[in-house]
């Protein structure tokens, strides 16, 4: 299904009111939310899938799930698009996990060399270092306040742009950049203190 035409405009109104009306079963209110957020969700999925048709399908499924679960949504002062992005991300991860979609980059064929004992030890050491690094990052994330942690997760784990993160957090792009800078500085300080 193609994106909604740009000529159709969503009715004006504050988002919380639209959400309340949509939860009450107002189809026009949900349609307004759809028109307002379609491009954001579609763009998020298109970047990850690199497939226009799959992104369109997953976007439609994201809005179907949102419609089914709108009763469970609670306005917390954050952009509605953050909730939709979470649904879209979960759909994308399900798609990848089920193996229905395989993103392949062709490479030249080569013979796999036999692993020597030294190579095996190197692989194990690298694996242990990766686990240790993961633990360090996880504990460092807990040193951040909730807003900083959410900002870092959106920017670097969910791979959102500063603009998408700003929309998800309901803040300006400048505020997101400041939050990111302060969070990364605190993370750097925490990880240096742990490794010292």
d(Cα 181, Cα 138) in Å, to the nearest integer?
A: 18
Q: How many domains does the chain have?
A: 2
Residue 187 lies in a domain: yes
The answer to whether 65 touches 84, Cβ cutoff 8 Å, is no
Q: For 67-84, how does the pLDDT look when each residue is reduced to its tens digit (9 = 90+)? A: 999 988 877 777 788 899
**What pLDDT, on a 0 to 100 scale, did the predictor assign at position 108?**
46
**What pLDDT, on a 0 to 100 scale, did the predictor assign at position 160?**
81
Give residue 27's domain range: 15-97
Q: For 134-155, how does the pLDDT look when each residue is reduced to its tens digit (9 = 90+)? A: 666 667 777 888 888 888 878 8
pLDDT below 50 — which residues of the chain? 2, 4-13, 104-112, 115
Domain containing residue 166: CATH number: 1.10.10.10
Return the closest-CA partner of residue 35 out of 8, 61, 59: 8
**What pLDDT, on a 0 to 100 scale, did the predictor assign at position 63?**
94
**What pLDDT, on a 0 to 100 scale, did the predictor assign at position 195?**
59
22 plus 91 within the same structural domain: yes
The answer to whether 66 touches 84, Cβ cutoff 8 Å, is yes
Out of 81, 97, 113, a domain closes at 97
- pTM > 0.85: no
Domain containing residue 70: CATH number: 1.10.1740.10
32 plus 91 within the same structural domain: yes
**What pLDDT, on a 0 to 100 scale, did the predictor assign at position 82?**
87
Return the closest-CA partner of residue 16 out of 99, 91, 79: 79
């Amino acid at each position: 299904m193609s994106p909604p035409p740009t000529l159709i405009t969503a009715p004006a109104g504050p988002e919380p009111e639209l959400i309340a009306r949509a939860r009450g079963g107002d189809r026009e209110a949900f349609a307004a939310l759809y028109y307002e957020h379609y491009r954001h969700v579609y763009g998020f999925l298109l970047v990850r899938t690199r497939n226009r048709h799959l992104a369109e399908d997953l976007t439609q499924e994201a809005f179907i799930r949102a419609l089914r679960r709108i009763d469970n949504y609670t306005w917390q002062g954050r952009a509605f698009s953050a909730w939709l992005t979470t649904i879209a991300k979960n759909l994308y991860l399900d798609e990848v996990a089920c193996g229905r979609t395989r993103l392949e980059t062709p490479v030249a064929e080569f013979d796999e060399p036999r692993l020597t004992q030294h190579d095996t030890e190197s692989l194990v050491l690298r694996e242990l270092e990766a686990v240790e690094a993961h633990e360090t990052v996880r504990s460092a994330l807990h040193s951040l306040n909730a807003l900083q942690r959410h900002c870092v997760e959106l920017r670097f784990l969910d791979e959102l742009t500063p603009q998408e993160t700003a929309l998800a957090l309901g803040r300006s792009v400048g505020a997101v950049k400041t939050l990111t800078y302060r969070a990364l500085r605190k993370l750097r300080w925490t990880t240096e203190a742990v490794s010292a």
